[in-house]
């Protein structure tokens, strides 16, 4: 039985191991990445579900619990009911169970895939028909469902497309946001959204390659001096819609990492625009605040290890010459800067809802409610 870790990574799917522990697929979370939930409330998101060789996962609300199938098992060794001499022995003992065991991904997720791309792990633009919307009003999902105004969409329209696969078996037309490596013209994939759907075109381009959605509002030939980074293109546009008068439009660019932020995505943005001030507009949860702190360390070129300690209700941060903890409910960029001594050119923006699009929707409904005429009560004599 092969026991080389590289062999495990190439031949054992995180999904396969997760299902053996009782994780179940959440079909509403999208096709790539896919989400699996556990009765213990341990929710994981897995990218490249069709290709174990480039598959990685992350755990919601536990930033350090991420990686490949090796890390997945290492973080859950006590779940498998085995005895082992050391973690490496335990990981091998677990993964030997799954080597050469047939696994049907389509049966596991209840979804069909795009076979050629799923097997190669690469995105191919020739498999898609991409159309630029002629009118922002055509983007009905964004206007009706997400309450993005046509004025906002007119600003970002060069960076929004309609994307439809040429495989007629799956030819839904979705709203797409092109992911590119900063400074390169080639499209590496698309973030896709639609009613009751959110996902990505097949291929591994966020982690290893570090592609992102990048929308620069600066005049041609000028570099942005401010960059707003978020977890989705919709959140980026929502931030603009809410705060467009606070940042100079013609010196600002907007970035989406497409969910979990990879180190390579952050490095590519920072290396391309080293002098720009970064504004984080991540979700208002623990993961979002940790993305901001990881980004601060990357921008400062300082190695950082993050370990969540749920039993203590805090997070341990380890830098080369310093370690400290911050309670979960006090986790902010300013608290991290104070304790770490780092001073990156950054600002953390926190939404008043779960994310900035939630703020946009709440504001829209509040305005509609204010416009509704009030019914006069009937007074009894």
Q: Sort strands 346-348 and 277-280 into parallel, antiparallel or unpaired.
A: parallel
* More confident: 32 or 158: 158
DSSP string, 185-207: --EEEEEEEETTEEEE-SS--SS
Q: How would DSSP label each residue in 222-234?
A: ---SEEEEESSHH
Query: Which pLDDT score, from 0 to 100, does residue 337 have?
Result: 95
pLDDT confidence bin for 238, thresholds 50/70/90: very high
Nearest residue to 237 via CA among 141, 333, 163:
141
Q: How confident is the model at residue 356 (pLDDT cuts 50, 70, 90)?
A: very high
Give the DSSP letter string of 302-326.
Answer: ---EEEEETTTTEEEEEETTEEEEE
pLDDT tens for 246-277 read 888 889 999 999 887 888 899 999 999 999 99
Distance, CA of 89 to CA of 73 (rounded, Å): 12
Backbone angles phi, psi at 153, to 5 degrees: -65, -30
Give the range with max mean pLDDT: 42-51, 90-99, 159-168, 266-275. Answer: 266-275
Average pLDDT, the chain: 84
**Quick count: other Cβ atoms within 10 Å of Cβ 172?**
10
The helix/strand/coil state of 2 is: coil
Instruction: Give the C-alpha separation, 238 to 183, whole Å.
Output: 25
Question: Per the structure block, which two tokens stand in for 274?
Answer: 């080293």
pLDDT tens sequence across 275-295 = 999 999 999 988 889 999 999
Mean pLDDT, residues 102-116: 49
| pLDDT score for 118 | 43
Q: How far apart are CA 141 and CA 148, in angstroms?
A: 9
| pLDDT score for 196 | 75
The distance between the two most distant Cα atoms of the chain, rounded to a whole number of Å, is 90
CA of 267: how far to CAs of 112, 209, 257, 324, in Å? 34, 11, 12, 25
Decide if pLDDT at 162 tops 60. Answer: yes
Give me the percent of the chain exceeding a pLDDT of 70. 89
> Which residue is listed with tokens 């980026």?
236
Say if residue 58 is exposed, middle or buried (CB neighbours under 10 Å; 0-12, 13-18, 19+).
buried
Give the contacts of 339 (CB within 8 A, at least 6 positions apart).
317, 324, 326
From the CA atom positions of the chain, what is the Rg in Å? 22
pLDDT value, residue 378: 47
User: At residue 108, does pLDDT exceed 50?
Assistant: yes
More confident position, 225 or 261 = 225
DSSP letters, 321-375, are TEEEEEEGGG--HHHHHHHH----SEEE---SSSSHHHHHHHHHHHHHHHHSPPP
How large is the average pLDDT for residues 185-205?
A: 85
Classify burial at 132, counting beta carbons within 10 Å of its beta carbon; exposed 0-12, middle 13-18, buried 19 or more.
exposed
User: What percent of the chain clears pLDDT 90, i.e. is strictly above it?
Assistant: 43
d(CA 283, CA 190): 21
pLDDT for position 115: 39
Contact 172, 92 (CB under 8 A): no
For residue 21, give the DSSP letter: T
Segment 112-125 mean pLDDT: 54
- Check residue 116 and give its pLDDT: 42
- What are 126-129's contacts with CB under 8 Å, separation 24+? 126/166, 127/165, 127/166, 127/167, 128/163, 128/164, 128/165, 128/166, 128/190, 128/201, 129/163, 129/164, 129/165, 129/166
Check residue 324 and give its pLDDT. Answer: 95
Q: How many CA atoms lie within 13 A of 6 on its CB side?
A: 0
Residue 301 has pLDDT above 50, yes or no: yes
How does DSSP classify residue 17? H
Per-residue confidence (pLDDT) for residue 305, from 0 to 100: 87
Q: What is the pLDDT of residues 131-155, one digit of tens each?
A: 999 888 889 899 999 999 999 999 9
pLDDT at site 60 = 76
Residue 323 has pLDDT above 60, yes or no: yes
**pLDDT tens digits for 49-71?**
878 888 899 887 677 788 899 99
């Amino acid at each position: 039985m092969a026991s080389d870790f590289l062999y495990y990574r190439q031949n054992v799917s995180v999904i396969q191991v997760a299902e053996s522990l009782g994780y179940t697929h959440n079909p509403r979370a999208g096709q790539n990445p896919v989400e699996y939930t556990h009765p213990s409330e341990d929710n994981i998101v897995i990218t490249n579900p069709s290709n174990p060789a480039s598959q990685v996962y992350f755990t919601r609300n536990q930033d350090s619990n991420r990686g490949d199938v090796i890390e997945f098992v290492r973080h859950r060794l006590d779940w498998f009911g085995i005895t082992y001499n050391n973690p490496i022995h335990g990981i091998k003992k677990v993964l030997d169970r799954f080597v050469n065991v047939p696994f049907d991904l389509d049966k596991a997720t209840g979804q069909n895939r795009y076979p050629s791309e799923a097997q190669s792990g690469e995105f191919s633009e020739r498999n898609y028909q991409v159309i630029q919307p002629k009118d922002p009003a055509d983007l009905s999902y964004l206007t009706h469902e997400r309450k993005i105004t046509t004025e906002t969409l007119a600003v970002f329209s060069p960076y929004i497309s309609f994307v439809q696969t040429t495989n007629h078996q799956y030819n839904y037309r979705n709203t797409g946001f092109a992911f590119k490596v900063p400074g390169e013209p080639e499209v590496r994939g698309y973030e896709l959204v639609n009613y009751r759907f959110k996902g990505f075109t097949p291929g591994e381009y966020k982690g290893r390659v570090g592609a992102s959605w990048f929308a620069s509002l600066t005049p041609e030939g000028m570099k942005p001096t401010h960059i707003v980074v978020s977890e989705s293109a919709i959140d980026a546009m929502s931030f603009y819609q809410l705060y467009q008068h606070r940042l100079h439009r013609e010196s600002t660019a907007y970035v989406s990492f497409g969910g979990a932020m990879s180190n390579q995505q952050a490095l590519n943005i920072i290396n391309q625009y080293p002098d720009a001030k970064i504004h984080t507009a991540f979700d208002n949860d623990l993961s979002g605040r940790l993305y901001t702190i990881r980004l601060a360390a990357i921008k400062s070129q300082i190695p950082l290890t993050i370990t969540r300690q749920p039993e203590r209700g805090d997070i341990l941060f380890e830098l080369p010459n310093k370690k400290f903890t911050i309670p979960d409910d006090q986790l902010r960029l300013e608290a991290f800067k104070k304790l770490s001594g780092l001073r990156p050119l950054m600002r953390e923006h926190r939404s008043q809802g779960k994310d900035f699009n939630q703020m946009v929707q709440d504001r829209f409904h509040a305005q509609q409610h204010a416009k509704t005429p009030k019914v006069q009560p009937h007074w009894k004599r």
